[in-house]
A and B are shown apart, each in its own frame.
Chain A
Amino acid sequence: MKQVLSGNEAIARGAWEAGVSFAVAYPGTPSTEILETVAASYKDDIYSQWSPNEKTAMEVGFGASVAGARTLVTMKHVGVNVAADPLFTMAYTGVGGGLVLVCADDPNLHSSQNEQDNRNYAKFVKMPLIEPSDSQEAKDFMAFAFDLSEKYDTPVMLRTTTRISHSKSIVEFGDRREPNKIGDLERNARKYTMLPGFARPKHPIIEDKLKAIAKVGSESCPLNRIEMGDTSVGIITSGISYQYAKEAMPKASFLKLGLTYPFPAELVKEFASKVDKVIVVEELDPFLEEQATLAGIEVDNGKDLFPICGELDPVMVANRLAGKAMNAVAPAPDLPIRPPVLCPGCSHRGVFTILKKLKVFVAGDIGCYTLGALPPLESMHTCLCMGGSITMAHGIAKVMGETYDRKNKVVAIIGDSTFFHSGVTGLIDMIWNDGNAVVIIQDNRITAMTGGQENPGTGHDLSGIESPQIDMEKLVVALGVKPANVRVVNSYNLKEVEDVMKEELDKPSPSVVITKEPCVLQFRIKEEPYRVDADTCTGCKVCIKVGCIALSINDEGDEPKAEIAAEFCTGCSVCAQVCKFDAIVK
């Protein structure tokens, strides 16, 4: 059977075919759909779950592997930073059932806070790295990755990029391998208990494994292949870069690598000896090129041609590799940009409207609410990493000391999924160390930014089945926030938000303000729309400052008037509350 699948859907299929029986992840673009596909299409054969964060996902997955199951763990590139601690030592312990970490990088930061090249992790952790270049390979390479993991007793990383994960191509299906038989639990402290005395002897073993796998990569690995053509130039490439280069120079000689770490130096040497010159085409860091150079292989400086920053694209590759002329048509000039914005009716809007009015310093976090940093709301002043809001607020507040000046008061704002991800430990830090900041938890009942996943507070698991729900209010009280300082407010009631914020800002101990209004996009909330009464509207444009695309100013009449597009307005009332003339009505 053949289907058009995205790289992510193909990875899910590949996991199923490889006999995986356990899959775990924390969502993150562009990796999220892998587990969603597992849960939707293979739920009878594969247990799957979201974890609260990538570190717990990695450890849960490792447990499953120790028990003998072939295990898939997925995350976005920055997720690996969170999961790095267990991952590094997993290279020492090795695995039980095969364990493959799929990590999805995001060159060009389509939806991320940085564009780190996670291939470097493979080298740093000392684990094999596999890079597919389309959906068929994404599926097929999974089986290879699991076999490699079990044969060499090591976790394996399969790395995609946005253009692999979110591109679709035709995939031919295969059958499912028998999953591993699960026997009684084996005790093997020397393997799994990394005391210094047990861990020390493992390190040379890892080095030997890497040498052995490099030999596989050079001699017998079906993922690495030479495609001989014109010998005046030889191109070494992997992942999506292969597709661009192949299209630019279909007749050139290629060394297409799928198993890119440990570096198959012998194969690269052999290839280099057959062509007049060698050039590496790769996105982001000169990962392959540096290793080729270290192995004493003479390569052209690929990074003179291709940037370290951002994505490659087919025109750039054709132009710089093959000297094909760039298209000369200029884009239409000066078009207004169309940035992403909070949806009409979004429950985050009212809170940012008030934070702006209060002129406090806002330490932000990652989620839809990060859009509160953009104009016209412009009321988020930092965003570093998931969970960083509360801890940064604590650090800032400690330095600023006791102050009654609102502009030097600090508020942290964090979403529900992000709070459970890594905000909880931050709050413990603030409470333990006698901090003082107001933490707003925007509990919109879902992980919205990544397309609507369940989280520990929603009462459902990945499959949508009812599950125990972590009670946020009880949790923060248990951590030590005074019950009187835990306030649940209605995010659509601006006066209530403002009054409560003022009260909590004046208290000398940490406060937690929680909103519970659900995400209007994910829960499809739409009530009777508001409209602008043109006779009452003075055209003052205050309503426009809430940044809702349902609202605009109509300049066509004698005087400018606000206008509401009924098909977009969800009837949330935020703009009506800021209008000083009661001109926005139902």
Chain B
Amino acid sequence: MKTTNILLAGVGGQGVLLASRILSEAALAAGLDIKQSEVHGMSQRGGSVMSHVRIGEEVHSPIVPEGECDILAGFEPLEGLRQAHAVKEGGVLLYSVDRINPSTVSAGFAQYPEDVEEQLKSFKCRTVAVPAVQYAEQVGNRRSANVVMVGVMSNFLEFSDDIWSQALTAAIPAKLLALNIAAFELGRKHI
């Protein structure tokens, strides 16, 4: 079995790390090897955040080699674009359509690229736009947009419904579980 390489890119505070945790739990439940890597620290303060998840029979490096990413989930379009070159030809690039201005843009030092979606689509991979915040609002919690993204990603990973349900239960506190399962389902049905 070939290792599946996943990147999650977003903004501090968006729940990129919880999303990675759900993926890791799914791999563990499926009896696979897993390596996940992230850098936290200064990135918690609204900076770019990136997490690498690698799933396979035996995984060595916890970092996805650039150019070998199978699935990239951009939790924010600009952050997706920043990593888009890491996706291999024929890979999948999902992105949440909801923009968050970097401080450099809100302070007027830089422009948010107006053509961000066109640029995303110019890479040689399949792109999927996800109205993640809209879905999350449908289940009553904006903050579940991250779990919506995992739901969309689940279409590209060969885990059963049962594995996903085990993974969500392991990663999410009981009182928020039902709501997040609903968010996950909306994402899963997006494709």
Q: List A residues at the B interface (Cβ < 8 Å).
A: 2-4, 29-30, 110-111, 134, 162-163, 166-170, 240, 243-244, 246-247, 313-315, 318, 326-332, 334-343, 368, 371, 375-376, 449-451, 521, 541, 544-545, 547-549, 551-553, 567
- Give Cα A342–Cα B107 distance, bound, in whole angstroms: 13
Residues in A whose Cβ lies below 8 Å from that of B68:
327
Is B15's beta carbon under 8 Å from chain A? no
Task: Kindly report which residue of chain A lies nearest to residue B38, judged by CB atoms.
Answer: A166
Q: Are A30 and B41 in touch, CB under 8 angstroms?
A: yes
- Give Cα A567–Cα B14 distance, bound, in whole angstroms: 13
Given A331-B85, A332-B119, A338–B60 Cβ distance below 8 Å? no
- Of the residues A243, A332, A450, A567, contact of B60 by C-beta under 8 Å: A243
Residues in A whose Cβ lies below 8 Å from that of B119:
332
Q: Are B28 and A335 in touch, CB under 8 angstroms?
A: no
- Of the residues B11, B46, B102, contact of A336 by C-beta under 8 Å: B102
- Give Cα A326–Cα B61 distance, bound, in whole angstroms: 17
- Give Cα A110–Cα B39 distance, bound, in whole angstroms: 7
Count of A-B contacts judged by CB separation below 8 Å: 170
Q: Are A335 and B78 in touch, CB under 8 angstroms?
A: yes
Q: Are B103 and A339 in touch, CB under 8 angstroms?
A: yes
Q: Are B40 and A553 in touch, CB under 8 angstroms?
A: no
Q: How many Å from the CB of A126 to the closest CB on chain B?
A: 31
- Give Cα A327–Cα B83 distance, bound, in whole angstroms: 13
- Give Cα A247–Cα B63 distance, bound, in whole angstroms: 11
Q: How many Å from the CB of A135 to the closest CB on chain B?
A: 9
A-B contact pairs, 20 of them (CB 8 A): A4-B21, A29-B40, A30-B41, A110-B41, A111-B41, A111-B42, A163-B63, A167-B62, A168-B62, A170-B28, A170-B34, A244-B61, A327-B67, A329-B86, A336-B110, A338-B47, A339-B104, A340-B45, A451-B40, A552-B101
Q: How many Å from the CB of A227 to the closest CB on chain B?
A: 12
Is B113's beta carbon under 8 Å from chain A? yes
Q: Are B61 and A247 in touch, CB under 8 angstroms?
A: yes
- Of the residues A2, A110, A314, A376, contact of B42 by C-beta under 8 Å: A110
Is B66's beta carbon under 8 Å from chain A? yes
- Of the residues B60, B62, B107, contact of A544 by C-beta under 8 Å: B107
- Give Cα A94–Cα B48 distance, bound, in whole angstroms: 45
Q: Are A567 and B103 in touch, CB under 8 angstroms?
A: no
Task: Kindly report which residue of chain B lies nearest to residue A452, judged by CB atoms.
Answer: B44
Given A332-B119, A341-B45, A163–B62 Cβ distance below 8 Å? yes
- Give Cα A332–Cα B80 distance, bound, in whole angstroms: 10
- Give Cα A408–Cα B64 distance, bound, in whole angstroms: 50
Residues in B whose Cβ lies below 8 Å from that of A326:
67
Residues in A whose Cβ lies below 8 Å from that of B62:
134, 163, 167-169, 240, 243
Q: Which 8 A-B pairs have the closest CB atoms?
A: A327-B67, A111-B41, A336-B110, A340-B47, A338-B102, A167-B62, A552-B106, A340-B45
Is B155's beta carbon under 8 Å from chain A? no
Task: Kindly report which residue of chain A lies nearest to residue B80, judged by CB atoms.
Answer: A332
Apart from A313-B63, A318-B65: 6 A-B pairs, beta carbons within 8 A: A3-B28, A29-B41, A314-B61, A315-B66, A327-B68, A327-B85
Q: How many Å from the CB of A507 to the closest CB on chain B?
A: 34
Residues in B whose Cβ lies below 8 Å from that of A330:
85
Q: Which of B47, B62, B110 has the most CB of A within 10 A?
A: B62
Q: How many Å from the CB of B14 to the closest CB on chain A?
A: 12
Residues in A whose Cβ lies below 8 Å from that of B24:
4, 168
- Of the residues A3, A331, A332, A339, contact of B47 by C-beta under 8 Å: A339
Q: Are B44 and A451 in touch, CB under 8 angstroms?
A: yes
Q: How many Å from the CB of B116 to the closest CB on chain A?
A: 9
- Of the residues B45, B82, B84, contact of A342 by C-beta under 8 Å: B45
Q: Are A340 and B60 in touch, CB under 8 angstroms?
A: no
Given A170-B33, A551-B106, A332–B46 Cβ distance below 8 Å? no
Q: Are A162 and B28 in touch, CB under 8 angstroms?
A: no
Binary CB contact string for chain B from 28 to 62 against chain A (1 if under 8 A, 0 otherwise): 10000111111111111111100000000001111
- Give Cα A503–Cα B41 distance, bound, in whole angstroms: 37
Is B142's beta carbon under 8 Å from chain A? yes
Q: Are B61 and A335 in touch, CB under 8 angstroms?
A: no
Residues in B whose Cβ lies below 8 Å from that of A4:
21, 24-25, 27-28, 34, 36
Is B112's beta carbon under 8 Å from chain A? yes
Q: Which of A134, A314, A334 has the most CB of B within 10 A?
A: A314
Given A247-B61, A368-B45, A371-B45, A541–B82 Cβ distance below 8 Å? no
- Of the residues A3, A169, A247, A552, contact of B105 by C-beta under 8 Å: A552
- Give Cα A548–Cα B105 distance, bound, in whole angstroms: 11
Q: Are A341 and B37 in touch, CB under 8 angstroms?
A: no
- Give Cα A396–Cα B27 distance, bound, in whole angstroms: 56
Given A327-B68, A336-B78, A338-B11, A167–B36 Cβ distance below 8 Å? yes
Q: Are A549 and B106 in touch, CB under 8 angstroms?
A: yes
Q: How many Å from the CB of A5 to the closest CB on chain B?
A: 10
- Give Cα A30–Cα B42 distance, bound, in whole angstroms: 11
Given A327-B66, A544-B108, A247–B82 Cβ distance below 8 Å? no
Is B70's beta carbon under 8 Å from chain A? no
- Give Cα A421–Cα B51 distance, bound, in whole angstroms: 32
Q: How many Å from the CB of A379 to the closest CB on chain B?
A: 15
Residues in B whose Cβ lies below 8 Å from that of A315:
65-67
- Give Cα A314–Cα B111 distance, bound, in whole angstroms: 33
Q: Are A166 and B37 in touch, CB under 8 angstroms?
A: yes
Residues in B whose Cβ lies below 8 Å from that of A166:
37-40
- Give Cα A552–Cα B63 distance, bound, in whole angstroms: 35
Q: How many Å from the CB of B86 to the closest CB on chain A?
A: 8
Q: Are A547 and B39 in touch, CB under 8 angstroms?
A: no
Q: How many Å from the CB of B168 to the closest CB on chain A?
A: 15
Given A244-B61, A337-B102, A567-B142, A168–B37 Cβ distance below 8 Å? yes
Residues in A whose Cβ lies below 8 Å from that of B45:
340-343, 368, 371
Residues in A whose Cβ lies below 8 Å from that of B131:
none
Residues in A whose Cβ lies below 8 Å from that of B85:
327, 329-332
- Give Cα A330–Cα B63 distance, bound, in whole angstroms: 19
Residues in A whose Cβ lies below 8 Å from that of B34:
4, 168-170
Residues in B whose Cβ lies below 8 Å from that of A567:
142
